[in-house]
Chains A and B, each alone.
Chain A
Amino acid sequence: QVQLQESGPGLVKPSETLSLTCTVSGYSISSGYYWGWIRQPPGKGLEWIGSIYHSGSTYYNPSLKSRVTISVDTSKNQFSLKLSSVTAADTAVYYCARDSDPIVPAALFDPWGQGTLVTVSS
């Protein structure tokens, strides 16, 4: 079964770049589907950040697009998130997820990783 695991620093300083990696097991990223990042500020709702295909094709949320880069490393079966110029408003649990819709890109998120809390603070 597909499993995803986020990894990366739990604390990032304001104005720096947040970097997270999602390691996928039980499924080859190269086999298909989009792979995405979603975040959830403490006590708040969910925000889609962006998604990537194994070819490198991406979709980004326009609200974050100027600061976000999502990349994929098929050799390691991983995909990554970089968010630059972070502020306290970027403090959130960051989830990675697989898109489960084989037709509509970056549509449905299932399964998800367990999530990782990233705090932006000096």
Chain B
Amino acid sequence: GAVVSQHPSRVICKSGTSVKIECRSLDFQATTMFWYRQFPKKSLMLMATSNEGSKATYEQGVEKDKFLINHASLTLSTLTVTSAHPEDSSFYICSAREDRGQYFGPGTRLTVT
């Protein structure tokens, strides 16, 4: 089946720094990738939809200058959390879409100290 990877799986950073999370579709080309955020014991919240070669579409309430998304190729999308703060600590999950469906990455645990 289709595989989506994320890197890193876990990252700890200091407040004020920026963190980049990569999402790759390993065996298929994904024209559309999605970024989700999951708070403890909460639902997966869609943050943005990323299409290759175009600007990401952000959901209401998600700051596009805070969460920079780049979809540079059909197999790679990156999420950069800029000037991270402790409240940005969360579990970030990407998904990639191909014709047969949408496949999720394993997630990245971000902790901002």
Task: State yes or no: do A and B come from one complex.
Answer: no
